[in-house]
Amino acid sequence: MNHNSENPHRSYLKMYVFSLLFLAAQIVFFYYLMKHYT
């Protein structure tokens, strides 16, 4: 399936899932910083 014919709802969903995963990754990073240096 090429990019143009992709279901727009699916690309919206990807954007939201990416945003959540990015937040989760940041929280894991902060946890690492806190544990590693404290």
Partner 1 sequence: MSIPDWTVLIGTLLFIVVYGAWKNRKQRSLTDYMRGSDQASWWAMGLSVMATQASAITFLSTPGQAYSDGMRFLQFYFGLPLAMIVLSVFFIPAFYRLKVFTAYEFLETRFGLPTRLLAAFLFLVQRGLAAGITIYAPGIILSTLLGWPLAATNIFIGMLVIAYTVSGGSAAVSQTQKQQMAVMMGGMVVAGVMVIQMLPPDIGLQGAMHIAGQTGKLNLLNFDFDLNDRYNIWSGMTAAFFLFMAYFGTDQSQVQRYLGGRSMRQSQMGLMMNGLLKVPMQFMILMIGVLVFVFYQFNQPPVFFNEQLLSQVRQSEDSPRLSKLEYEYSGLFAEKQEEIYRLKEAAMAGNPEAIAHHRDRVMNLLDQEHDMRTEVKDLVKNTSSRAETNDKDYIFMRFVMDYLPIGLVGLLFAVMFSAAMSSTSSELNALGTTTTIDVYKRTINPAETEAHYVSSTKWFTLGWGLLAILFAMVASLFENLIQAVNLLGSLFYGSILGIFLVAFFVRYVGGRAVFIAALLAEAAVLAIHWLNASDLATGWLKMSYLWYNVVGCLLVVVLGVVVQSLLPKSSHVSSE
Residues that bind partner 1 (CB under 8 A): 8, 12, 15-16, 19-20, 22-23, 26-27, 30-31, 33-34, 36-38
Nearer to partner 1, 10 or 33 (CB): 33
Nearest-approach distance from CB 35 to partner 1, in angstroms: 9
Nearest-approach distance from CB 28 to partner 1, in angstroms: 10
In angstroms, the CA 30 to CA 26 distance is 6
Question: Which two three-digit tokens encode residue 13?
Answer: 């969903």
Q: What is the DSSP letter of 7?
A: -
